[in-house]
Amino acid sequence: MPIKPGPLWGKHLAESPDEALVRFCAGRDVRPLPMADAELLPFDLWTNRAHAIMLERQGIVDRPTLAAMLEGLAQLEADWEAGVFELNPAKEDVHLNVETWLTEHKGPDIGGRIHTGRSRNDQVATDMRLFLRSACLEWGESLGSLIASLLDQGQAHAATVMPGFTHMQPAMITTWGHWLCAHVQALCRDLERLRLAYDLCNRSPLGSGAAFGTSWPIDRELTAELLAFERVEINTLDAIGARWECEWQVAQALAAAMTHLAVISQDLILLSHPYWGMIRLNDRHVSGSSIMPQKRNLDFAEIVRGKAAWAGGVASGLLGLAKGAMSGYNRDSQLGKYAALDLVRECREAPVVIRAVLDGLSIDAEKMRELLGQGYLAAADFADAIARKLGLPFRAAYDIAALAVRYSGSAGAIGEAAARQALRESGQDPSLVGQILGELGDPSRVVGWRQHTGAPSLAAMVKQIESLRDEAQRLCAFIPQERARMESAWRRCRDHK
């Protein structure tokens, strides 16, 4: 019977690869990038609507002119969604494309008035802030979803003991739940950074003109309200000169989050390594090799690590963008737009992919427990126990434990004879060795000794998970509120009569 041709990654994988994971790993290899301003068009249409409504409210244009403007913008939006309208590179940017389209379809009296009282400088600054706000909310939702999954798994594995590591070497006994919650705490800080970045972006630069305002009697507060901004940027010169800054704030938050996802990724690579085998990823989430038919590579994890490094570089580059530039608008800031758009596009799927991988992996609790017998993971607890039982200073107990490790050779765990010898040489009574080592022989009991806040004992984990869940929910609470506020403002502009 002929063998049916399989995927490039080979028939040793029981399931086909996850399509989202394949896309994430392939990246731009076989996919074109959209025009930068194509991603801004929906935001530019919103900005145009808000500006047009304000012009009519201020008596700068009349109601028939506003009606024609809004009708034209709605038609352009419909053509865009239907794939009929495309940005024309000859028109330089999205702003001129929209204005030209209105002029061609509604006449020069309509298209020619839409730019009254503004500049492309404040248009693009506004579009980018709308885009960055949306990116912060999207990332917040993704991180919130990942955190919820981590906490659910942490609760299920709060008592699943495993080796803990420092310097990539065996350190102390911990639990899988404690490992998961460590990443939750880091991701909660990322949510805080996203909220800060969101708040700093949530101020309207519209109406700043080229940087020095306008002689038209505009109402900046009204356009800010129509675009769901919290308030206006008070000084128009800074509002335009700071175009790099909002991009940098968001890039900082995303770079930190990507770095935390990279740490998770590296842990998954090591913990799933066949030589350790503490976890196993679903076949849907690993990649094969074009030449080695046995391979189960964690390509997604390596991509996350790479993108984390790149994201840090983008953030650093944005910080340096204004260096040496005079206050006000400088064309240097144009590069900040590309950097921010690229960063959001390239990294947006990372938390989604990580969650899918974590949801699908299996834990080998037996292997985790087995590995606790290597690397003297209870040595620090042995020192603590000696200090408590004998009333010794910790440093003296530490020295005794170190001797016991030395005398145990390659055993991987402190033996009774070695412990007795270490105590005897240190002038201490070795008769308590049996009792101490007996207590240390149960990893769950050892972990259970650590009862303080944030520790891996079951009692501490229950409180920790509850606290982290409350924290995450509090940090995510603004997301649906802001989405609803933005949706309401957008509908107000779209449905304005």
Q: How confident is the model at residue 6 (pLDDT cuts 50, 70, 90)?
A: very low
* Confidence band, pLDDT 50/70/90 cuts, at residue 435: confident
| 211 φ, ψ (degrees, to nearest 5) | 150, -10
Please report which confidence band the pLDDT of residue 2 belongs to, taking 50, 70 and 90 as the band edges.
Answer: very low
Is 333 annotated as catalytic?
Answer: no
| Residue with the larger pLDDT of the pair 289 and 102 | 102
- 87-114 average pLDDT score: 94
Instruction: Tell me which residue of 453, 480, 455 sits closest to 144, measured CA to CA.
Output: 480
Q: Which of the four pLDDT bands, split at 50, 70 and 90, describes residue 323?
A: confident
CATH number of 41-111: 1.10.275.10
How far apart, in whole angstroms, are the C-alpha atoms of residue 431 and residue 420? 8
**What's the helix, strand, coil split of the chain in %, to 5?**
65, 5, 30
Q: What is the pLDDT of residues 9-23, one digit of tens each?
A: 556 655 667 788 888
pLDDT single digits (tens) 159-202: 999 999 999 999 999 999 999 999 999 999 999 999 999 999 99
pTM: 0.92
- Which of helix, strand or coil describes residue 179? helix
Return phi, psi of residue 215, to 5°: -85, -10
pLDDT surpasses 90 at 329: no
Q: Is 289 a catalytic residue?
A: yes
pLDDT of residue 295: 78
Say how far apart CA 100 and CA 423 lie, in whole Å. Answer: 88
> Do 41-111 and 120-371 share a fold?
no
DSSP 286: -
Rounded mean pLDDT, 464-487: 97
Beta bridge partners of 165: 170
Which runs of E-coded beta strand occur in 310-377? 362-363
Spatial distance between the Cα atoms of 449 and 456, rounded to a whole number of angstroms: 9
- Supply 406's token pair: 């030395």
Q: Higher confidence at residue 287 or residue 396?
A: 396
Cα–Cα distance measured from residue 300 to residue 366, given in angstroms and rounded to the nearest whole number: 27
Residue 173 contacts residue 222 (beta carbons within 8 Å): no
Question: What confidence category does residue 385 fall into, taking pLDDT thresholds of 50, 70 and 90?
Answer: very high
Checking if the pLDDT of 376 tops 70, the result is yes
Please state, for a pLDDT cut of 90, what percent of the chain lies above it.
81
Domain residue ranges in the chain: 41-111, 120-371, 379-440
Q: Where are the beta strands (DSSP E) in 229-365?
A: 231-232, 279-280, 362-363
Q: Which two tokens stand for residue 34?
A: 């959209």
Q: Which two tokens stand for residue 216?
A: 């038209």
Instruction: Enter the tokens of residue 283.
Output: 């076949």
Lowest-pLDDT range, 73-77, 224-228, 333-337?
A: 333-337
Q: What are phi and psi of 466, to 5 degrees?
A: -60, -45
CA dist 40 and 436 (Å) reads 66
**Distance from chain centroid for Cα 140:** 8
In this prediction, residue 325 carries a pLDDT of 79
Q: Specify the amino acid at residue 496.
A: H
pLDDT at 474: 97
How far from 262 is each of 1, 256, 272, CA to CA, in Å? 45, 10, 15
The two beta strands, 203-204 and 231-232, are: parallel
State the Cα–Cα distance between residues 50 and 68, nearest whole angstrom.
14
- Residue 254: count other Cβ atoms within 10 Å of its Cβ: 30
Identify residue 171 by its one-letter amino acid code: A
Given 167, 215, 410, 431, which residue is catalytic? 167
pLDDT digit string (tens) for 343-365? Answer: 999 999 999 999 999 999 999 99
Can you give the pLDDT at residue 78? 96
Confidence of residue 404 (pLDDT cuts 50, 70, 90): very high
Q: What is the mean pLDDT of residues 241-249?
A: 93
Q: What percent of the chain is modeled with pLDDT above 70?
A: 97
Q: In this predicted structure, what is the pLDDT of residue 250?
A: 97
Instruction: Tell me what the mean pLDDT of segment 294-316 comes to.
Output: 92
Burial of 129 (0-12, 13-18, 19+ CB in 10 A): buried
The confidence score (pLDDT) of residue 3 equals 40
Tokens of 124: 């693009």
Average pLDDT over residues 242-268: 96
Output the pLDDT for position 49: 98
Q: Which two tokens stand for residue 296?
A: 């189960």
Residue 395's pLDDT is what? 96
What are the structure tokens assigned to 395, written together? 């440093």
The pLDDT mean for the chain works out to 92
* Domain at 120-371: CATH code: 1.20.200.10
pLDDT surpassing 70 at residue 480: yes
> Residue 186's CB: how many other CB atoms inside 10 A?
17
CA distances (Å), 305 to each of 251, 263, 312, in order? Answer: 16, 8, 11
Q: What's the rounded Cα separation, in Å, for the pair 209 and 86?
A: 27
Which residue out of 289, 316, 362, 488 is catalytically annotated? 289
| Residue 5 pLDDT > 70 | no
Among candidates 114, 79, 46, which has minimal Cα distance to 492? 46
Contacts of 400 (CB under 8 A, 6+ apart): 383, 386, 392, 422, 423, 426, 428
* DSSP summary character for residue 4: P
